[in-house]
Structure 1
């Protein structure tokens, strides 16, 4: 447990290193990241999405990148999101889209991020494509949820994420009940203070189970974002006990992780959605995945040396 904690803190520290981020962009995704990232452009990801769809898996794509510092860059990211939606429709891909509000100007102004989100959601509605707002670190959690609430009053095709490692996650789920929320429920992957987040893994897991149960029993669509067999089995048992339709929930897993489990769940008749990131800004995402599970480190190292 001590070594695991050290490993997690180490990779979370690396995820915020700007120098390593610049070097990563120079060398591309060949250092193992190409096994969990769909490419540096959406065009590179399209064949992967088609194969995943062929295998019975649904997809949500995420153009990696966050912490945009200029209005011009945020508008560029907005246009890229619109073009991604158009490409999903053009290629008839079974895919949703996920995005981070910091890539659309959250740290610049609320007016800017709202304008960008309105443009994206209006385009997504033309093609009946759902957009999910990813959750970031705890300092941006409440601003993100306020924007989600405001947008959800006008746009039905919108979801967001709640992280079970935060103490306030249960309150957040309660606050969102009036909005008929589509929630992706996850453990969380950012380095947080013990003042705002559970430190013990067992508490994080227990809280995730509570959130899954609450959102499902309240009748809202729930995406269970976990690779943990205990969480998956808990969800299966819960829906069976309460007669919850398989149309009310789905399992979500990261691209390149637990492939056999994904396939097995599809064969059992469950909806499985693969979170497929792409883009040049893959480094921070890659480091956070290594921090989540020690097994991912061996996975990545193997990928670096595989010919």
Structure 2
């Protein structure tokens, strides 16, 4: 990554936490291009988008956006929204699971209450036969997130799994531990800034570790999601599974809403299981800015939309 790209990303990520900018963006952003990456602000909007994906043979993981909560009152409100989301999935009969962040449920403010919120959601999800993925945040929450999933499994709530990030040195040990307990995992490269002593610095090292994690999981037979838009990783996974005669029903590919849509559709047509991560909600701004920071071309897409709208 060159210096200009690093500066570009740094500026955008700083903007992600700016409340004044967020207020303006939330007034106009979905109209100017944010809807490319965010399915909408309401349950009705996200259900429509998930139904469209389902018709293409693609399932979904729905995430109600929200981060940086400051009170357990906010956490309670997010829990209630997730319970409504689960009921809505049941009502509309869409093929979808859900994804949530532990801190969004209050983990950093009141760990016991946060766990109770998560348990309430997982219990409702089990009633509706919906899978829940507990997202992995940055390294201070790795142990607690894994602990939450293990505790829920011990309570008989097995419709829940979590995420393992390949850029952490510890990840193979975590994968082996959770595989032994038949926990469903989503494998990702990882996106948080972590200290050098706990994370790989070079992309090639992260890629090699991700391949090692994928191989370990595919060989185990425990259901696994490979979450990547990296064509090289996807091709490698397909080849590995084919050479070892691993069923395409034993794993799935996961990608983001609005990113690599043709690739998602092509894999689905080839008989692979594909799941699209579909975010929605009023607090979409930080998520949207992170998508812009990933590629300068995404910013050009938004500016083009803004010019077209200004002229009309």
Cα–Cα, structure 1 residues 232 and 279, in superposed 2: closer, same or farther, change >3 Å?
A: same
Alignment of 1:214-229 (within 5 A): 214-229=216-231
The equivalent of 2:190 in structure 1 is 188
1:305 CA displacement? 4.1
Cα–Cα, structure 1 residues 248 and 119, in superposed 2: closer, same or farther, change >3 Å?
A: same
SS of 2:176 mapped into structure 1: helix
Matched, 1:250 2:252: yes
SS of 2:289 mapped into structure 1: helix
Cα–Cα, structure 1 residues 196 and 25, in superposed 2: closer, same or farther, change >3 Å?
A: farther
SS of 1:34 mapped into structure 2: helix
C-alpha separation in 2, matches of 1:148 and 1:74: 19
Cα–Cα, structure 1 residues 106 and 222, in superposed 2: closer, same or farther, change >3 Å?
A: same
Cα–Cα, structure 1 residues 169 and 301, in superposed 2: closer, same or farther, change >3 Å?
A: farther
Q: Deviation per CA, 1:227-272: give whole Å up to 9, x if none.
A: 1100100110110111111111001010111111111101100011
Confirm or deny: 8 A CA contact 1:67 1:107 kept in the other structure.
no
1:137 CA displacement? 1.6
C-alpha separation in 2, matches of 1:150 and 1:27: 42
**Number of residue pairs matched by the alignment:** 307
Cα–Cα, structure 1 residues 303 and 215, in superposed 2: closer, same or farther, change >3 Å?
A: farther
- TM-score, structure 2 normalization: 0.92
Cα–Cα, structure 1 residues 88 and 49, in superposed 2: closer, same or farther, change >3 Å?
A: same
Deviates more, 1:116-125 or 1:188-197: 188-197
Let me know the Cα RMSD of the aligned residues: 1.8
Deviates more, 1:292-301 or 1:138-147: 292-301
The equivalent of 1:24 in structure 2 is 25
Matched, 1:199 2:201: yes
The equivalent of 1:272 in structure 2 is 274
Confirm or deny: 8 A CA contact 1:68 1:107 kept in the other structure.
no
C-alpha separation in 2, matches of 1:165 and 1:291: 19
Deviates more, 1:177-186 or 1:224-233: 177-186
The gaps in structure 1 that reach 5 residues or longer are none
1:303 CA displacement? 4.3
Alignment of 1:3-14 (within 5 A): 3-14=4-15
Matched, 1:123 2:124: yes
Deviates more, 1:120-129 or 1:194-203: 194-203
The equivalent of 1:174 in structure 2 is 176
Confirm or deny: 8 A CA contact 2:185 2:223 kept in the other structure.
yes
Q: Deviation per CA, 1:104-149: give whole Å up to 9, x if none.
A: 1111122111111111111111111001111112222221111111
C-alpha separation in 1, matches of 2:305 and 2:140: 34
Confirm or deny: 8 A CA contact 1:12 1:287 kept in the other structure.
yes
Cα–Cα, structure 1 residues 302 and 159, in superposed 2: closer, same or farther, change >3 Å?
A: farther
